Chains A and B, each alone.
Chain A
Amino acid sequence: MKSLAGYVAEIARIEQDIADIGEAALSVPEDTERLTKYVYRRYQKAAISGDLRALAGVEALIDRAIPLLANPGDLYLLKANLAFKFHRLADVGAALASVEAMYDSRECRMIRADLDFQHGRYEEAKRAYCDVLDAEQTWDGLARLAHFNFKMGDAEGADRLYAEAEDLLTAKQMRSYAWLEVQRGLLDFMQGRYDQARDHYDHAEAAYPGYWLVGEHVAELLGAQGRHGEAAAILERVAAAVDRPDLEQALGELYDLKGDAEIAHFWKQKALAAYLQSAQDGHVHFYHHLADYYVDVAEDGAEAVKWARMDLGLRENFSTQSALAWALHRDGKMSEALCWIDRALSSGAVEAKLFFQAGAIYMASGDEAGGRTLAERARSLNPTVDHFHIHH
């Protein structure tokens, strides 16, 4: 398999574009396309490199640029995407509503469908994905439907859709191809099929070398295979390049598994500090990580419940419902935990982790038979459901 110019080359190209256009594009907005391109390139660089701080900076840039444009529709769309990355779903809706004329464009309909999914309106989400795809087959539309199908238990169908999405991509879109390969690898990983997952990750690396996203998933796979040292080494490299506390938490968990408690403690504390700082700064996108952290790492039920409730306040879906149930279970509030996990189970979602946690909650609530059934279902979906994984 030959190697291609990848992540580093693309980032360099984007940086060159940014330098060529320059911040002056904002001060003399004679050229709308130049200004839009500048903002988009800044967004693209932050998004591709996974730099959440830079993304926050781009949001301020968008807010500066919008009043300079007579038709800021594309920037509102960018703003909506950015708000989505930060889990500020109300802001997503507000950005989309700001430009009435583009509300029914393909891009807006897709984001609105994503919103439906995040708010647990599954049928609406699926219908919207399918409607948009009926009008035009696009790789990102197929990827969205694949993601939906996997969450609803159709892993085979999801993989087929990802493959269809890949078939729409050309040699000029290798990053997108690598992204899809990572998703296909993740599908396999979440079914315990580690060899197949590794094949997809290797394809992704060959297609677009140096992409930290691939490294993150390879590290997760190695961690699940018990190769904690190798996993930690890779993840440390990724964490050094990408400022992401969730990866630091994963490093902490890996070092715990490796038996290096002191290093593990360092990474976990670093992650927690960053999560809390983010929340203190008014950001909401680490709420679910805080819930995960307190329930699984710190084993502090009360704190976990607090953050899980806050996350659920943003978006109520099977994932936030089960996270709250899991936190309540940790906090010993079994009756309420049972109530929330039943709500999550009634969503129609089919996910090993969901059934695994539901089984534990049922058993802790005294329903051993129900709990066993759920646990067996979890293992039938993913025999390695309790292995190491990163909280993506």
Chain B
Amino acid sequence: MADHNDPNSVNSIFSDIDVSAADLYDIFGFPSDDASGGEKVVIALTFASVPEAGVFDQDMLYRILIAPDRRIVRPGKEDHSLAGLLTYLDGVKNKYLSTLKPSEVRVTIDRDNRAHIRFFNFPGGAFSAVVDANQSVTLQSPGGHAIKAFIGGRDDAFFNDLPGFFRSINYAPQFYHVPHSREDVRELKIPKTLLELEGNDLFNYDPNLPEWGYSLKKDLPQGPLTWSGDRFKKDENGNFRFVYSGEDARAGQNCNAIILELPLAFLTDAPNDHRIVNTWGESWVLKAANKIETIPDDPFWIEHPHVLIDAWTLDDELKKYKLVDTDGQAFADAALSEREDNRQMGANNFWLAPHFVKRLGHLGWGFGPSISALGLASAFDHDNSSVSVHRTYSWVAEAFPRVKKVLFQELNMPDESWNKKGLPIPLRRPIDIFIPNVNSIDMDTTGTWPFGRRLEDQVATRFLSMFLDMTAMLNGKKYHIELLNDPALWNSAPIVPKTPPNPVANDKAFLPVFPYLAEPW
């Protein structure tokens, strides 16, 4: 028997993989304000700056998928039943798998840190170029379209109180040393909440340890990792304690980025009809077998197509890589999927739709009562619970009635500035936004979220707004996606600290011209 050669000796207890260049951060997308030479769309895919800002990992391959389409015309009388939802999802699935044939921008980096950028399947032509990293360049397509490209290091454009978000979902690894082998104690079984829970010592802010959850972790305590209270915490003045601080956890940090400014006429033959530019990003890492330029004689994916849903569409180059991460819609993975689970689904996340409904139900029982406690109206049906509840669902049918309004309500915009042409563009709803997991840029809007994603959008706070009841009014105005980002709201609310959940602006000013993202630190 192979005593020293058995699989037990493979040393797999801990991952040897450090922070990875495959970790995608965000995909931004909006119509360019520069209309000279025709309409253009800006797309920026950002990811971890590994090995460092402006220097790229040669084992990586990045894809930006682009699928222009018509704006969906919603039927006059929609079916908002569970059956209707499933029919809708089926339609979306068929569209993405068979109707839309996304074009692609593919980027790899060579040993000299030069970017190889290739454009596949675009109506405006297919071509490639080799460009220096960290330089803005203008490329000419075969059809004469000028495409701006920047591939290099930038200031991370995401501004967000990430520890606050983790506190809201009781995500232990942000606050505690959680053993690698304890996957069962990541999101603890404590109600999700926007307001601290009375007696939730596992996560409540500790004034003696202000850095806890930011730069300091504690040892995970022994004993039950649960909460048994029955109310939100209030201080001696009757104020709730916000789980958010409003501080920017990404301040002073960089990313690597692929930033493009593409003429709409290059992306589609019908720019007047195709007013929506759907886009998402993917990171792929070279497979070990291909690192030594040896392709297995019998690649197993041929025999096991379930491993990659779209394996049959992979070209020879992609077969040498492994899909690691996808990014389309902000918070689609972080909040609405089980964390660290199936991040590769990307635009194909309709496979996870039942889970999405259950997860939304779970979050709703946490955030809904928090919103109500602040005197705001929630779209989530939490039976007027006075405090957040930890509840999970095994069945979609059970969760659906609770989340139905959240899913199908239109998210009001704060004013009409988003609709720059004043066209009859329907407001977007969470169901439209998160499935499929793509960034759908409406070229007739400013591209502010959810009609795309502009750099200055505070998407983390806008995400929370979908739990508000958008039919409710405050000060004579309907609730809208910027309501929770309004400092005045918090100044008058019984809460400390008096701050919007997340920072209202990036730590470094964005540039008015291409490549738009600020210089790296």
Q: B7 is contacted by which of A48, A105, A143, A170 (Cβ under 8 Å)? A: A143
Interface centre among A70, A72, A146 (most CB of B within 10 A): A70
A40 near B12 with CB under 8 A, answer no
CA–CA, A177 to B220, complex, Å? Answer: 35
A167 near B177 with CB under 8 A, answer no
A32 near B12 with CB under 8 A, answer no
Interface size class of B (residues with CB under 8 A): 35 or more
- Taking CB atoms, residues of chain A closer than 8 Å to B512 are none
B301 near A1 with CB under 8 A, answer no
- Taking CB atoms, residues of chain B closer than 8 Å to A105 are 181-184
Asked if A40 meets B287 with Cβ closer than 8 Å, knowing A70-B222, A102-B179, the reply is no
CA–CA, A64 to B3, complex, Å? Answer: 28
* Nearest CB in chain B: distance from A12 CB, A: 15
Interface size class of A (residues with CB under 8 A): 35 or more
* Nearest CB in chain B: distance from A134 CB, A: 13
A73 near B181 with CB under 8 A, answer yes
Which of the candidate stretches B187-195, B291-299, B344-352 sits at the interface with the other chain?
Answer: B291-299
B6 near A147 with CB under 8 A, answer yes
Asked if A70 meets B286 with Cβ closer than 8 Å, knowing A101-B182, A102-B181, A107-B181, the reply is no
Asked if A74 meets B180 with Cβ closer than 8 Å, knowing A170-B285, A174-B291, the reply is yes
Q: Is B314 an interface residue (CB 8 A)?
A: no
B289 near A177 with CB under 8 A, answer yes
CA–CA, A161 to B182, complex, Å? Answer: 27
Q: A166 is contacted by which of B11, B296, B324 (Cβ under 8 Å)? A: B296
Q: Is A108 an interface residue (CB 8 A)?
A: yes
A392 near B221 with CB under 8 A, answer no
* Nearest CB in chain B: distance from A75 CB, A: 9
Which of the candidate stretches B13-21, B206-214, B388-396 sits at the interface with the other chain?
Answer: B13-21
Q: B5 is contacted by which of A33, A43, A174, A183 (Cβ under 8 Å)? A: A183
A85 near B9 with CB under 8 A, answer yes
Asked if A77 meets B13 with Cβ closer than 8 Å, knowing A70-B222, A170-B59, A206-B292, the reply is yes
A207 near B296 with CB under 8 A, answer no
B59 near A176 with CB under 8 A, answer no
* A168, closest chain B residue (CB): B322
B5 near A70 with CB under 8 A, answer no
- Give the contacts of B253-312 with A (CB-CB under 8 A): 285-294, 296, 298-301, 304, 307
B181 near A171 with CB under 8 A, answer no
CA–CA, A70 to B222, complex, Å? Answer: 8
Can you name 8 A-B pairs with beta carbons within 8 Å? A143-B7, A144-B8, A168-B322, A172-B285, A173-B17, A285-B3, A392-B2, A392-B3
User: Would you list the 5 A-B pairs with minimal beta carbon distance, nearest first?
Assistant: A319-B1, A70-B219, A177-B288, A32-B177, A73-B179
- Which of B's residues lie within 8 Å of A, judged by CB? 1-14, 16-17, 20, 59, 177-185, 217, 219-222, 285-294, 296, 298-301, 304, 307, 322, 324
Q: Taking A81-B8, A167-B287 as given, write out 4 further A-B residue pairs in contact, using a Cβ cutoff of 8 Å, ordered by the A residue number.
A: A74-B181, A140-B12, A186-B2, A246-B4
